[in-house]
Structure 1
């Protein structure tokens, strides 16, 4: 079964980085009890409880998959930093809400809306589908409200007339994100991290050389004492 997530290393911290790109496809998740469990297991294995970075660029997809990923992030022991690097729309915006900290790239966008579906059937079947869509909406609205601190009525008003698009600045203003990514600050932090790693590496090497030298000196002393019958 094809995975829809990729693990890499954060170039700034060298820590675990999770890439979520493309559609959160229903054919992979819907009706499949294994895949959400596989995602959780992979998150635990790859993340190892460390702080992780999650980069999102997705138009959305299956809301049930999105909720499963959201819950996996909330249950994860380490800090989850979400970076919306392109688009977090529809169900992908629900995934983004799972971050302990949510950052927006300067040119990134986020979109929320009511759930929708292709439907056919008689009157009773269509009424049942409407009920399902309302339940899905209620769950997503609850997640948005918990993250933003806005009441559910305010969130409903936002999506009452269709898709609600936010650029990075508005996403922060509305509480859907914490701040806009400052690339200059991140590059500076990365340079400081690299310098710190190099410094510790030099110190370790120096300690190893010193320890080796001390051992060589002790061996030389033992040799001299042995030659002199002591």
Structure 2
């Protein structure tokens, strides 16, 4: 059963609904790294497979104090599970690195904010929007739900503001408008710390810097060896008397080896 999303921009609906669920965790005690994969919907669901806050909590308990790498590709889901996962990751004692492999929409964008590093993959996207709910009841019931959603949104904006480089009002406007961010736009606004391409460029730059430094050291060693093995060139002055058309004589210095 494919999920139908209530996003204003429906152009990505088919792609988002086709993201297969995959939650897994691996723990490398020797390297001190745990990796969590969170693909698909966030929150408990009766209708389709999903990843809940309980799943992530159990995985982090197994991780202990390991650094954590999260691979994220999700259309979102339950805001409350997303917030719980965010807080659980945020309070983890090890470093948390989040790779947005494909999508980090809605509740998944909240999870992404927990990363000490947030790396947007090539072609990946992030989306923030208004909180929503299905309401059945009287006008008062609907007003109460609307009030609750406004308070929920304020909490979500609090999360976004931990990374945003713009004002709270600007973030609120982007939430109300349902805003989609490319990798470069997420980096620009502060939601990401780097993109895959920038990480590769940095790694290449570091490799070139190290190579130049190694070549410089090698050249210095070669110069030193050349100076040490070069034979000294002594000079000994020898006076030669040379007749210059009877005008006089002068001395020449003859070099010898």
TM-score between both structures, scaled by the size of structure 1: 0.69
1:60 paired to 2:68? no
Deviations 1:91-112 (A, max 9, x none): 0000000111100001100000
1:17 matched residue in structure 2:
35
1:146 aligns with 2:162: yes
Task: Output the CA distance in 1 between the equivalents of 2:140 and 2:69.
Answer: 45
Identify unmatched segments of 5+ residues in structure 2: 1-20, 47-51, 205-257
Name the SS for the 1:61 alignment partner.
coil
Structure 1 position 174 matched with structure 2 position 189: yes
Assess if the C-alpha contact under 8 Å between 2:43 and 2:82 holds in 1: no
Tell me which of 63, 66, 75 is aligned to 1:50: 66
Q: Residue 40 of structure 1 aligns with which residue?
A: 57
Q: Could you tell me how far apart the structure 1 residues matched to 2:142 and 2:92 are?
A: 38
**Distance in 1, Cα, partners of 2:22 & 2:171:** 29
CA contact (8 A) 2:165 2:189 kept: no
Distance 1:36 1:88, change over 3 A: closer
Aligned match of 2:133: 117
Shift of 1:25: 2.8
SS at match of 1:147: coil
Larger radius of gyration between Structure 1 and Structure 2: 2
Distance 1:37 1:90, change over 3 A: closer
Q: 2:150 maps to which residue? A: 134
Match of 1:89 among 84, 105, 130: 105
Aligned residues between the structures: 176
1:39 Cα deviation (Å)?
3.2
Alignment correspondent of 1:108:
124
Q: Distance in 1 between matches of 2:64 and 2:83?
A: 22
- Report what 2:12 is aligned to: none
Please, what is the CA RMSD of the aligned residues? Answer: 2.5
Alignment of 1:98 onto 2:118: no
Distance in 2 between residues matched to 1:164 and 1:26, nearest whole Å: 26
Could you say which structure has the greater relative contact order, defined with CA pairs below 8 angstroms and 6 or more residues apart?
Answer: 1
Question: Aligned with 1:71: secondary structure?
Answer: helix
Shift of the 89–53 alpha-carbon distance from structure 1 to 2, 3 Å rule, reads same
Where does the alignment leave 5 or more consecutive residues of structure 1 unmatched?
A: 29-34, 189-230
Q: How far, CA to CA, are the matches of 1:137 and 1:8 in structure 2?
A: 33
